[in-house]
């Protein structure tokens, strides 16, 4: 391998810039670089030791006591709590998540006045519709997802974009650049899937393509659809105003004008039935709730026109997975403020979709890996899975 090929994760300096992006000085970039490497070290060096401890210490201990292997991930979790390797990996992983938040917030908050002003100037252009009267769902109001203080919605000052600016600044480090320069590899993966697997469907929608992204956040995965299909009318909804302010400003700064960012609840989107051709969610379902996910599926069905497609990008469901892998994948539910993660990954999505009205023969499942610029960014590596963080997704979909 030549020394001019990148052998590790990309440096923070490779991150894609846009007008509303936080400016980072040398040392702030170095702090993010440390987090990138810490995450890599955790997944490639310490996590394999946790599995070692399970196989060489915990499992024999359990078998000696019970005459059988652990039956489910709850038994594994109870068992592993006493394993030093697990304690150390967990303590460092939790600590690294918290340090990532601290690093991002320190960067954003020192320049918040400027960021809010830049966003406000870009948001004069049409395409942003906020609704301050919209009630927050409890799963957002009561939970600081993945240790993010104040969740997606908290405004420290008027017209605040800080939660989105912090999210955008740090996701590059958390994923080791695996999502690409603009952390949009998920959206590009959907684009590639549509082009390769639904080319006839795309041809049928060559004159009209109406796309809805539910729970869009700051639109990382929404924008590639708008960029790849310039004729598409893209609508992106979220309950959190800071994400939408930042998302719309970011889109405009990147020259994307065919996305409308609207403050609305994915459980009751304010749109007419059968008014979209593609309805999707990207890593959104696991941050909702048991009752909300039902409604999201029902709304997906209601909003889809005939010949429409619904798509949900998530981490894989647990059914049929070895109990140790379930246990490791479930770490975020218990230790990274993702309370619905456990329940969500046990759900029968086919049954959920059937209840919403989708025909079983119209349902499909597939896997997607992030599509990134491989001249600089790492190809998703199947051998160093960092459960729940990898730039690869399980997709559940259903056509109408």
Min separation Cβ 228 and another protein, Å = 28
Q: Which stretch binds another protein (CB under 8 A): 2-10, 188-196, 213-221, 349-357?
A: 2-10
Q: How many angstroms separate the CA atoms of 121 and 113, rounded?
A: 12
Regarding 125 and contact with another protein (CB under 8 A), the answer is no
3-state SS assignment for residue 398: strand
Q: Which 8-state DSSP code applies to residue 56?
A: I
What are the beta bridge partners of residue 309? 278, 399
What are the beta bridge partners of residue 261? 128, 236
Task: Using alpha carbons, select from 103, 95, 82 the residue that is nearest to residue 41.
Answer: 95
- What is the rounded (10 degree) CA torsion for 295, 298, 300, 306? -170
Q: Which 8-state DSSP code applies to residue 232?
A: -
Q: Which stretch binds another protein (CB under 8 A): 93-101, 193-201, 214-222, 306-314?
A: 93-101
How far are the Cα atoms of 25, 297, 385 from residue 218, in angstroms, in the given order? Answer: 23, 22, 26
Min separation Cβ 224 and another protein, Å = 25
Regarding 109 and contact with another protein (CB under 8 A), the answer is yes
**Nearest-10 crossing angle of helices 162-174, 241-253:** 70
Question: Looking only at residues 218 through 277 of this chain, which bind another protein when binding is defined by CB under 8 A?
Answer: none
Residue whose CB is less far from another protein, 126 or 149: 149
Regarding 22 and contact with another protein (CB under 8 A), the answer is no
| Cβ 222 vs Cβ 236: under 8 Å | yes
Q: Which stretch binds another protein (CB under 8 A): 27-35, 167-175, 222-230, 364-372?
A: 27-35
Min separation Cβ 34 and another protein, Å = 4
**Nearest-10 crossing angle of helices 84-109, 26-41:** 160
Min separation Cβ 344 and another protein, Å = 18
Q: Which stretch binds another protein (CB under 8 A): 51-59, 215-223, 229-237, 282-290?
A: 51-59
Residue whose CB is less far from another protein, 151 or 221: 151
Other C-beta atoms closer than 10 Å to the C-beta of 135 total 8
Binding another protein (rule: CB under 8 A), the pick from 274, 317, 376, 394 is 376
Q: Which stretch binds another protein (CB under 8 A): 97-105, 191-199, 212-220, 250-258?
A: 97-105
Regarding 288 and contact with another protein (CB under 8 A), the answer is no
Regarding 149 and contact with another protein (CB under 8 A), the answer is yes
Binding another protein (rule: CB under 8 A), the pick from 16, 19, 33, 129 is 33
Residues that contact another protein, how many (by CB under 8 A): 66
Binding another protein (rule: CB under 8 A), the pick from 6, 19, 59, 354 is 6
Min separation Cβ 238 and another protein, Å = 20
State which H helix or E strand residue 282 sits in: strand 276-282
CA angle 157, 159, 163 (to 5 degrees): 75
| Cβ 400 vs Cβ 310: under 8 Å | yes
Residue whose CB is less far from another protein, 43 or 123: 43
Tokens of 140: 């957002």
Regarding 334 and contact with another protein (CB under 8 A), the answer is yes
Residue whose CB is less far from another protein, 52 or 365: 52
Binding another protein (rule: CB under 8 A), the pick from 43, 101, 175, 342 is 101
Task: Using alpha carbons, select from 301, 16, 343, 30 the residue that is nearest to residue 179.
Answer: 16
What are the beta bridge partners of residue 366? 395
Binding another protein (rule: CB under 8 A), the pick from 13, 208, 257, 366 is 13
Min separation Cβ 105 and another protein, Å = 4
Residue whose CB is less far from another protein, 7 or 207: 7
Helices (H), ranges, the chain:
26-41, 47-53, 59-66, 73-80, 84-109, 112-122, 138-141, 162-174, 185-197, 199-204, 223-228, 241-253, 290-303, 323-329, 331-335, 341-346, 349-356
Regarding 283 and contact with another protein (CB under 8 A), the answer is no
- Sites of contact with another protein (CB under 8 A): 3-11, 13, 25-27, 30-31, 33-35, 37-38, 40-41, 45-46, 49, 52-53, 56-57, 81, 84-92, 94-96, 98-99, 101-103, 105-106, 109-110, 112-113, 142-144, 147-150, 156-157, 334-335, 337, 376
């Amino acid at each position: 391998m030549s020394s001019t090929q990148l052998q590790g994760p990309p440096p923070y300096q490779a991150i894609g810039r846009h007008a509303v992006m936080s400016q980072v000085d040398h040392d702030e970039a170095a702090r993010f670089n440390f987090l990138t490497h810490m995450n890599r070290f955790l997944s490639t060096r310490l996590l394999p030791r946790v599995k070692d401890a399970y196989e060489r210490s915990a499992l024999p201990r359990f078998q000696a006591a019970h005459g059988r292997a652990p039956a489910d991930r709850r038994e594994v979790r109870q068992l592993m709590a006493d394993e030093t390797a697990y304690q150390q990996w967990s303590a460092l992983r939790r600590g690294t998540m918290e340090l990532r938040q601290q690093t991002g917030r320190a960067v954003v908050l020192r320049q918040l006045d400027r960021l809010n002003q830049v966003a406000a100037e870009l948001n004069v252009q049409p395409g942003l519709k906020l609704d301050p009267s919209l009630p927050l769902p409890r799963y957002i109001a009561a939970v600081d997802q993945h240790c993010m203080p104040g969740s997606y919605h908290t405004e420290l000052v008027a017209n605040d974009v800080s939660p989105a600016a912090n999210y955008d600044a740090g996701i590059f480090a958390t994923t080791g650049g695996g999502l690409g320069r603009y952390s949009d590899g998920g959206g590009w993966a959907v684009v590639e899937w549509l082009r390769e697997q639904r080319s006839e469907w795309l041809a049928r929608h060559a004159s009209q393509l109406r796309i809805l992204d539910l729970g869009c956040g700051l639109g990382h995965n929404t924008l590639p659809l708008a960029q790849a299909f310039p004729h598409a009318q893209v609508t992106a909804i979220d309950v959190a105003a800071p994400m939408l302010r930042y998302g719309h400003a970011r889109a405009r700064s990147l020259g994307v004008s065919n996305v409308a960012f609207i403050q609305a609840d994915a459980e009751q989107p304010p749109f007419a039935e059968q008014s979209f051709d593609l309805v999707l969610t990207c890593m959104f379902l696991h941050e909702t709730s048991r009752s909300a996910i039902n409604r999201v599926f029902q709304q997906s069905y209601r909003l889809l026109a005939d010949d429409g497609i619904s798509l949900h990008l998530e981490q894989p469901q647990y059914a049929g997975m070895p109990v140790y892998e379930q246990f490791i994948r479930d770490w975020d539910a218990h230790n990274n403020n993702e309370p619905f993660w456990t329940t969500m990954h046990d759900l029968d999505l086919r049954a959920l979709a059937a209840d919403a009205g989708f025909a079983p023969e119209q349902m499909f499942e597939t896997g997607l890996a992030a599509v990134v610029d491989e001249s600089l960014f790492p190809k998703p590596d199947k051998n160093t899975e960092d459960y729940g963080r990898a730039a690869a997704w399980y997709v559940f979909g259903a056509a109408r």
